[in-house]
Amino acid sequence: MNTTPYRIVHCIRAPVGGAFRHVCDLVRAQNAAGHSVGLICASDTDDAFAEEKLARLESDLKLGLIRMPMRRSLSLGDLSAIWRVLRQLHGLAPDILHGHGAKGGAYARLIGTAMRARGASVKRFYSPHGGSLHFAKDSAAGKVFFTLERTMERMTDGLIFVSRYEETQYREKIHAPKVPNRVIHNGLRPDEFQPVIPAADAADFLFIGEMRHLKGPDVFLRALAMIHEQTGRCPTAHLVGPGAQVGEYKEQADQLGLGEHVSFHPPMPARQAFAMARCVAIPSRAESMPYIVLETVAAAMPLITTRVGGIPEIFEGREGDLVEPDDDFALAAAMREKMQAPEHARAIAVLHQNILSAGFSLDHMARAVFAFYGGASRPAAEDRPQQVEDISHIHPLHELSEAHTGNRTNRRING
């Protein structure tokens, strides 16, 4: 087997959210292991927190950072952007192009396919991170995106799902994968398993996540109002996160009479936000494998979250602690229970932390992803679809970091 360090380029549209956290973790782990890594992402973001993260990441990007306009929806501008990136990447001779999310996945695979047509030897990988899989199977948008996904799979050398749920959704909405595929859960650093102690002036609750319908901030606000109506006391709360809809939720809070009891904040590090409250509520309507839930559990913070997507995989054996999505009454009841029995809530949080620590480590995630890079190959047309399971024969990440550096020259990309 070739033990030369790889040249890896990741591609993601928006440098925000859990998918970007996943990319940052892979970039740092792969760079630390001696591989040369680059990143392609959108330039049209006004998120100062995201820009700060990118600035911190640049020292790990030996192959550079490419920024370009990259809209969420499909457009003709995508073709010219792909052509520009193709010209920049061709001279870098990447071994791996790994796309994240629907748009990042499309860019990586189209660019990789064009490079292969020019004689390059590059593997194309795709991690959906939910993305187009959030669409309903029978919706008009879903039918369009799922057709595109089936087409794009022909340009894919390997699929990496972050949860069993995501893999199941792919099978049900698109088809059984015809390329090698593997479920690899997101992982956390050891320091993230240190408990967070709430500040002396901590609020009752924290909502943290993107301010959009999918994440359920409206459900959170209605649950707060319901507790106020039921008990005569309005819980205090902080809402932390980015999103174009934040103005709508501020207006909703005022209409519900929550005004002085809640406050809205821009994005900040998760553990900093955790210290602002005694309990976290993440009432998502849909998820794949949300980092914010993993981070909350790892910090031993009391948590109320929903039975959606890959979240039950985090709470293996304790799924009964989850609430149904889009249910104001269930969320309010769970929140009241946490308020009335804070010591019990803390004890349950420690139990959840112990469950999580057994199987969600960053080291395992990085090793498994890199092992899959080395093991995935497209089957012949007549082959049956295959699932890559046994990776024990492939060199782990740390062994590859000790290999020789090869004779290819690193070049910096200025985007």
Closest to 360 in 3D by CA, of 119, 223, 106, 183: 183
pLDDT at 73: 65
Query: Is the model's pLDDT at 385 over the cut of 60?
Result: no
Tokens (6 digits) for 88: 């920049």
Q: What is the pLDDT of residues 219-268, one digit of tens each?
A: 999 999 999 999 999 999 999 998 889 999 999 999 999 989 999 999 99
Separation between Cα atoms, residue 143 and residue 173, nearest integer Å: 9
| Domain regions of the chain by residue span | 7-187+361-400, 191-357
Question: What is the three-class DSSP state of 7?
Answer: strand
Q: What is the pLDDT of residues 345-368, one digit of tens each?
A: 999 999 999 989 888 999 999 999
Phi, psi of 321 (to 5 degrees): -80, -5
Query: Is the model's pLDDT at 403 over the cut of 60?
Result: no
pLDDT at 109: 95
CATH architecture of the domain with range 191-357: 3-Layer(aba) Sandwich (3.40)
User: Domain spanning 7-187+361-400: which CATH class is it, in words?
Assistant: alpha beta
Q: If you ran DSSP here, which 8-state letter would residue 132 be given?
A: G
